[in-house]
Each structure stands twice: as structure tokens, then as C-alpha cells.
Amino acid sequence: MPPPTTAPALCASSRDTPREPALLAVWRCLLPLWPLVAGMWLVLIASRLGLMVWLAPRVQAQNAWGEVLLQGLRFDGVLLGFIWLLPAALWPLACTLPRGQTLAWRAMRLYTSTAFVVLLFMEWSTPGFIAEYDSRPNYLFVEYLGYMREVGGTLIGDHLTALLGAVVALPLALWAYRRLTQWRAPLPRLHPLAALALALALTSGAALLARGTLGHRPANPALAATTADNLVNQLPMGSTYTLTYALYLARKSEDGGIVYGEMPREQVLREVIAATGADPAGFDDPAHPSMHLQASVPAPARPRNLVIVLEESLGAEFVARLGGEAVTPNLERLAAQGLWFERLYATGTRSVRGIEAVLAGFPPTSAPSTVKLAKSQQGFFTLASFLKARGYTSTFFYGGESHFDNMRGFFMGNGFDRVIDQNDFGPEVFRGTWGVADGPLLDAAHRAFTQTREPFFGFVFTSSNHTPFEFPDGEITLHEQPKGTVLNAVKYADHALGRFFEQAQKEPYWKDTVFLVVADHNSRVYGDTLVPVKRFHIPGLILGGPVQPGVIAETASQIDLGPTLISLLGLQGRHPMIGRDLTQPAVRALPGRAVMQFDKSQAYMENNEVVVLRPDLPPTLLRHDPATGAAQPAGEPPADLVRKALAQALFTPLAYRERWHTNAAP
């Protein structure tokens, strides 16, 4: 009977096996690794080529085909260098073992299979992320993982095909990767000195690849920023790299984010204070340099209430009088009754960024919003804390779960008395993935306002205009088919807003209330420029019994809304907001300006000139055309504009880190 057959061993078992020539042994030690590396690299190359084909018009517009491919080789090397740094150091040593190489090979297969799946998953996820955020995956990719109910509903509603494809494709690809990278030939036994030399050589090579350059500074995304299109600049980098780099930058969150340059603190403060249009003599608190007195018109005989309706993702493209679709007839009807903003710009692309700008008057940084950071959870200035010191009660109304993005914690720690969220509504109201629909939410807020006798502040945050765009049947005539589109969702949100104001105007509280309707950010911030300025344009309207109709045609920022509201409420007091009081003619005579944060870039716009600040790169000038929304490169930026932009960018992390944005005595 023949002896039973067994799978070939990875190494000879006898210690007496004669050693083969050193170079041949080294080569055979490395042979099993090449297919493992090639499989990973193939994922990166195939994904990049697919994205280039998909985004061909944008790549062609920048004439960037060669640049994307060449820089892609660099950043593939960077990513693979990091992945293979540890195996490069350990595998040659495994080849010195007379026994145990089978175990070492299994460990190598587990490590590389895990890395392969991560690479493949990130590249598979990239088209959907680009469609939503016009960017390869960044910090938002992991930030949303804490809210799986909302995110899961959105993925099922908008990306079901990609999800189902991943369920099939990822296991199949892993099976193929493991099958094609099997290795059963015996491995050599390296001399320990040869193994050490090989480990040093491989580790040095992997480290050099990971560094990506022979220059004095390692490779970073700035090396790929060679065009005027932010997304095209990201195509050379694998999505695992962009996500990892975003997490690396996030470690700076508690310091306020990216530092775009240097400027003496005194000059930063001079520039920022001058930009407010307020009297510099009023900034007299050295411990809190932005604290100053805002003096308004004589106080009204009866305290005025404040209601802010923060509309989810209501960009200018949905408002006909701002050049968009005609799906907000109620907002446009109300615009004639109040103070309408023609050129109002959001500070960022997230709801929490809009909250910190509108509610706290706090400018943006590259770090996460102060709604989520540690030093701003108590004692941070908000309109609620300002009004609380004057006898107001403040309530936050939200259709979803108020713990989302730490909103409840931030609000309750900074002046709010009560939070109403989806848990306070009965089972009879319509609920979507993101919570209670706008109609019942605004109805609940209206009922609360009619029952409140003391001065109140109501902050209402809507959610119906959020993917997957769910709202009650039969409330509106659909703008288009099918039902679940952004235009239909905006039309429903506008319908709910119109009904709210119809109800409010019939109640006694109307004549003593100032209302602000404003978007948190635009619906989808994307474009073929470094900063898509057009997609930061949002509608804004202040109305109510005490408000005289008018139009603010100057460029304005969300951070200007807080000081403007304080004046319209007839209040005065000390606060740290650096926005502008746009009720003052002298302030409105200043050049209009807005601050915008986009991915790792920060933009400062004065009238139609935009300075873009990026890490490790010189400032760039764009010229924005409000008529078309285009923002094109425009040569060397003026020194005074760069100075203003840098001062704004440096002030905000300072204000956060040193707790300047705090409350003052009434």
C-alpha cells in the first residue's frame, strides 16, 4: 500500500539540509510575497482607473490624466509602504526558523487578507461617498459610524445596490485573493545574518515608499494638489490613505485643527476686531479679547421672543429668487414680509457647523465642530446663554434623536432649558429614517409657543430634507416622480414651513417675536474648484411682528446672524461673537465677507475675491461670479486679503483653545 500523501511543507524539517546559495535563498524567501503585494496594488490601480473614467469630464477639464496616474504611483507606494512595513521587518526572520514557518505563513496570510479587505472595502465605498460629499472618504466616514440607525436607513434608501454588491463582491474577492496567493513550495533557511540584512533592506525600502519623497518633508496630500479641482487632486490617493490621513489630522481637534500659517497674536486680533465693524475701544477684556459690548436701539416696551428655524440642507439652488428651482414658494412669499439675505453663505458642510455658526456665532475650523469638542460643553457662549441671563427660557425642538452629534449635551450645557425630540412624539406622527417629519415638528413648536407666557427662545431643527427623503403622503403635489427625491423633500419642507407661519401669524406671540429661517448648509457641496463657493450659498430670512421688510444684498456669513438678531430683539450686552450687526448702516458699508471651511481647506471671501488656505501650500486666489456660481483661479492673491484670511483662520482655534468664546455678565 502506498503511503498517504500530504501537502508539501513550507520548509525542510531537517536541520541537516544543506544551505543553498545566499542570493537564491533570499529570492525564494521573497517569492511568496509578490502575489500578496500585487493583489493589493491591483485594487488601488483598478479603482483609480474606474474613478477617472467616471469623472472623465472633470479630469479632462484640468488636463490631469498624466498627473493623476503619476501621483497615483507615488501614493500607492506610500500606502503599500505603510502596510508592508511590519511584514518587511519580520518575514525574513521567519525564514531563519527550522520549524514554525507554516505558522508564520498563516500569520502573514491573515494580516495581508485583512489589509486586502480593508483596501477593497474603502475603494468600493468611494463612489457613494463621492456622490454625497464630492470627496474621497475623510473623517466624516468614521464620524457617522456612531449613528447606525440613521446611516443604515440612508444607505438602504440611497445605496442599496452598492450594499448588496459589497455583500457578494467582497467575500468573492477575498476568496480569489487567498486562492491566487497560495504558496506550497518549501521556503529556504536563511542564515541569520542574511535574514537580518534582508530585513533591514526591506524595512528601509518600505519606509522610503511610505515617505513618498526624498525631500525634507514626507509626502502628504499637498503634493497631489496640482489642479483647481479638489476632487481631481484626491484621485491619486487611495481612500484608505485619505481616511487615515483625516484621522491623523483629527488628533489636532482639541488644538483647533490645521494651522495654515503664522501671524503674531496681536495682529490676528487687530484684523479680526476690525472686520466686525464694531468700535475697537469696546474690546477691553485682555482675558477674552473678542468680548465687547453691543449696544442696540432702546429696548422695546415688551420683551421680544426669538425663534430660529434651522432648515436641513436648504441650498440656494432650491430657491427661485436665488437662481434655483421653484420648489420653495412659501419661503419666497414670506421673503417680501421680512429681511431677506441675497448673498448669505454657510460656514461649512455639516449640520453641527451650521449650529455653531448660527447659535453661537462661532467661525469654522478644520477640526470637528465645537458642538462635539470637550472645552465647549459648558460655559460656551450661545444665544441661549445670552438670553437666559435676561430671563428667557430656551427649548430645542428636533425631529430626530437629540443625542445625534452630541446636540443635546451641547445645548443643555450652554443655556437651553429643555429638549424636545422624537421620543416626545406619539406613534401617530410620521417618522422617517431621520425622525419626525417637519410638519408635526413645527406644529409641536407652535403649540409650545402659544402656551408660553415668559420671553422664550425656540430653536427648531428640521430633518425632512435629508436622504432618503421621506415625508408623509398626500401633503403636497409632487414636483417630480418618483416621490423620494430632493426636490420633493424640499417642497414638503417648504409646505410645512408655510403652514407654521400661517398659524403663527394668527397668534398673539407673532407681534412680539423675531423669526429667523436659515439653512444649516447646502444639500450637496461639490464642484470642480478648490472650494465650491456656489454650494455654500444659502437662503436666510428674518421676519416677525417687529421686523421691517428689506433686503441685505451684501455678502454675509452665518456668523453675522447672531449679532444682527440681538439688535432686532432690542437687547444689548457683552458677548464674544465676531460676526457683524447688519442692522447698522456703517457696518453694511464695509466690504461683504464670508468664511467657509471645506475638507482641509478654509476660504475667506470678500465681495467676489476668495482666498483659499490649504495645509503646506501657498494661498490661492479664486474669483467668484455670483451670476454663474463659478470660482476660477485668478492669479496672485492680494497681500491684504491673505492677511485677513489668515487672521480669521488663526483666531478661531485660539478662541477655542484659550476659552475666549465664553459668557459674560448681563
Q: What is the mean pLDDT of residues 45-50?
A: 96
Give 282's DSSP letter: G
Integer Cα distance of 293 and 283 in angstroms: 8
| Residue 627 confidence (pLDDT) | 83
Contacts of residue 586, defined as CB under 8 A and 6 or more positions apart, other chains included, come to: 277
Pick the range with the lowest mean pLDDT from 216-230, 386-400, 514-528. Answer: 216-230
Q: Band of the pLDDT at 4, cuts 50, 70, 90?
A: very low
pLDDT in tens, 352-362: 999 999 999 99
- Could you give the CA distance from residue 400 to residue 417 in angstroms, rounded to a whole number? 18
Where do we find the cell 429667523?
516
Taking the alpha carbons of 604, 609, 615, 618 in that order, is the dihedral positive or negative?
negative
Say if residues 542 and 568 touch (Cβ distance below 8 Å). Answer: yes
547 vs 163, higher pLDDT = 547
Average pLDDT over the chain, rounded to an integer:
90
Per-residue pLDDT at 165 = 83
Q: What angle do CA 440, 444, 448 make, to 5 degrees?
A: 170
Structural domains of the chain ordered from first start = 22-251 (no CATH), 265-657 (3.40.720.10)
**Grid coordinates representing 151?**
446611516
Instruction: Enter the DSSP assignment of 412.
Output: H
Phi-psi domain of 482 (left: phi exceeds 0; alpha: psi -120 through 50; beta: other): beta
Q: Which residues pair with 432 in a beta bridge?
A: 435
- For residues 245-259, give the mean pLDDT: 72
613-645, pLDDT tens digit by residue? 998 899 999 999 988 888 888 889 999 999 999
Residue with grid cell 443604515, as numbered in its chain: 152
77 has pLDDT over 70: yes
pLDDT at 162: 76
pLDDT of residue 253: 63
| Residue whose C-alpha is closest to residue 250's, from 332, 120, 140, 411 | 140
What percentage of the chain carries pLDDT values higher than 70? 93
> Does residue 491 have a pLDDT over 60?
yes
Q: Find, among 582, 580, 543, the residue nearest to 304 by Cα.
A: 543
Instruction: Tell me the whole-structure pTM to 2 decimals.
Output: 0.80
Give yes or no for a contact between 438 and 452, defined as CB atoms under 8 angstroms apart: no
**What are the cell numbers at 414?**
450652554
pLDDT, one tens digit per residue, over 592-606 is 999 999 988 999 999
Q: Tell me the pLDDT tens digit for each residue of 547-567.
A: 999 999 999 999 999 999 999
Q: What pLDDT score does 14 carry? A: 37
For the stretch 369-394, pLDDT in tens is 899 888 888 899 999 999 999 999 99
> Which pLDDT value is given to residue 451?
95
Residues 544 and 75: their CA atoms lie apart, in Å, by 55
| Residue 150 reports pLDDT greater than 80 | no
Q: Is the pLDDT of residue 5 over 50?
A: no
pLDDT at residue 188 greater than cutoff 90:
no
Neighbour-count burial for 584-615, b at 16+ CB within 10 Å, e otherwise = beebbeeebbbbbbbbbbbbbbbbbbbbbbbb
pLDDT at position 403: 82
**Phi, psi dihedral angles at 618 (to 5 degrees):** -70, 155
Bridge-based pairing of strands 292-294 and 573-575 is antiparallel
Helix, strand, coil % (nearest 5) of the chain?
A: 50, 15, 40
- Residue in 24, 13, 33 with CA at minimum distance from that of residue 191: 24
267 to each of 264, 560, 647, how far by Cα in Å? 5, 22, 8
Query: Scanning the structure block, which residue is given the C-alpha cell 446636540?
Result: 407
- Give the span between the Cα atoms of 307 and 629, in whole angstroms: 31
**End-to-end Cα distance, the chain:** 99
Cα 546 to Cα 511: distance, rounded to the nearest angstrom: 6
Tens digit of pLDDT for each residue in 294-328? 986 778 889 999 999 999 999 999 999 999 999 99
Residue 28 pLDDT: 87
Confidence of residue 666 (pLDDT cuts 50, 70, 90): low
Q: What is d(CA 442, CA 38) in angstroms, rounded to the nearest whole number? A: 57
pLDDT surpasses 50 at 9: no
236 vs 249, residue with greater confidence: 236
Q: What is the mean pLDDT of residues 111-121?
A: 95
CB within 8 A of 151, min separation 6: which ones? Answer: 144, 145
Q: Can you list the alpha helix ranges (DSSP code H) found in 134-238? A: 139-143, 148-158, 160-180, 192-211, 230-234
Neighbours of 214 (CB within 10 A): 6
Q: How far apart are CA 24 and CA 207, in angstroms?
A: 25
Instruction: Reply yes or no on whether the pLDDT at 2 is more than 70.
Output: no
Q: Which three cell numbers stand for residue 57?
A: 469630464
DSSP tag of 380: B
